[in-house]
Amino acid sequence: MKLRQYTIPLVIVTVIMVLSHPAYAQFKRPSEFTPRKVVVGTVIHGYYGVPYPGLDKRLTEVENLIDKVATESEKKYPGEGLDLVVLPEEVITIGKGRTAKDRSVPLRGPVLDRMGKKARQYSTYLVVPLDLTEENGTTTNAAVLLDRGGKVVGIYRKVHLVDAQGKTPLEGGHTPGTEYPVFDCDFGRLAVQICYDLNFPEGWQTLFDKGVEIIVVPTMSPQTVRPTVYASNGHCYIVTSNHRNNATIFNPGGRIVAQIDDGDNELVSGTLRLTQNAVLVHRIDLSYAIVSWSATLGDGRLFTEKYGDNVGYSYYRDEDYGIFWSNDPILPVRRMVQELGLVEMDEQLKRSKQVQDEVRGGPAK
């Protein structure tokens, strides 16, 4: 697990405490754990109307894009490094050809060699979307997750491929995926959804049921309403990486916590092109507590009065709740909540429903 800023003995103690926790192996609710800071990088990078330069040059473009994310990360969080970089849908292959077969490339070879090298260079997890030639000869719209050593953690194959007004072939001949995998990273549980998957709630619910903590969305669709709902329903972070309009990070309450847009753009021959690559780097914490309004909470001030800089939070008065996290490596945010005599929102709602059902004599019908 990637930990920073603390002394070696304290890190050892912290790691032992966290790993020995019986819930850790299952990655249950994030608030059961000590802080898990994750530095996330995402981008807007558009290729609409741009001739495909060949695989070698495209890989160079993507490498430069990753370099730019790393530079921004070092500028914003000096010495902390990157934990995760998310690239847009089909970033390796878009524009290569009209059919799925023409667009697709194998993972083994230049793609894995060069993207793996970048993951190793910055010791980061890297999400690499591409039209993928599978070993059995079929093709898929896929996103490959590489670990900090450049090895393949897993591959998500887009389940919901776009049809042309109800007709086949799908996306020029791709085979749709059949699974919604969740991948265990050293910072938590990660999953992928790609573009058109945004329109089908069943996949998202499957990931929620599997205990996902962060869902990355390489996409060409700049949606924000659906990700807001999914983040809130699943109590997970969502990170979009896009070719246009915006790249956004949503927190587990469904609020946008970081976003870039393509305000600097130009219209060339009727095609929207970005005048510069826009990158976003933001630090999140996968251990958090969502606490509803109470008379004593004081919009979150109750936490800072007791814990000072050892706690961080975003309180939303328009929603009557806040998201809180710990900055103390050995003090979980859940313990803070308990010491203040508060209750997390999910537990509060569960208790309220039980009391209501008892009073009415059973669940409402």
DSSP secondary structure letters along 98-118:
SSHHHH-B-STTHHHHHHHHH
d(CA 74, CA 2): 16
Where would I find the H helices in 155-282?
201-209, 225-234
pLDDT in tens, the chain (365 residues): 444 444 334 433 333 333 333 333 344 444 466 899 999 999 998 776 678 999 999 999 999 999 999 999 999 999 999 999 999 999 999 999 999 999 999 999 999 999 999 999 999 999 999 999 999 999 999 999 999 999 999 999 999 999 987 778 999 999 999 999 999 999 999 999 999 999 999 999 999 999 999 999 999 999 999 999 999 999 999 999 999 899 999 999 999 999 998 765 544 444 444 444 689 999 999 999 999 999 999 999 999 999 999 999 999 999 999 999 999 999 999 999 999 999 999 998 999 999 999 999 999 98
- Per-residue pLDDT, 8: 38
Rounded CA separation 213/26 (Å): 12
Integer angstrom CA distances of residue 230 from 163, 204, 300: 23, 7, 25
- Neighbour-count burial for 295-311, b at 16+ CB within 10 Å, e otherwise: eebeebebbeeebeebb
Class of domain 36-285: alpha beta
Residues 6 or more apart whose Cβ sits within 8 Å of residue 359: none
Predicted TM-score of the model (pTM): 0.88
Six token digits for residue 232? 């809130």
Of 206, 127, 125, 94, whose CA–CA distance to 160 is shortest? 206
Q: For residue 172, give the amino acid letter.
A: G
- Residue 253 to residue 322: CA distance in whole angstroms: 8
Tell me the sheet residues that pair with 156: 143
Residue identified by tokens 């060339």 is 268
DSSP 119: H
Q: Beta-strand (E) ranges in the chain? A: 37-44, 84-86, 125-133, 139-146, 152-157, 183-185, 188-192, 214-219, 237-242, 246-250, 256-261, 265-268, 271-274, 278-285, 289-292, 311-316, 321-326
User: Exposure pattern of 178-212 as b/e (b: 16+ CB <10 Å)?
Assistant: eebbbbebebbbbbbbbbbbbeeeebbeebbeebb
User: What are the boundaries of each domain within the chain?
Assistant: 36-285, 289-360
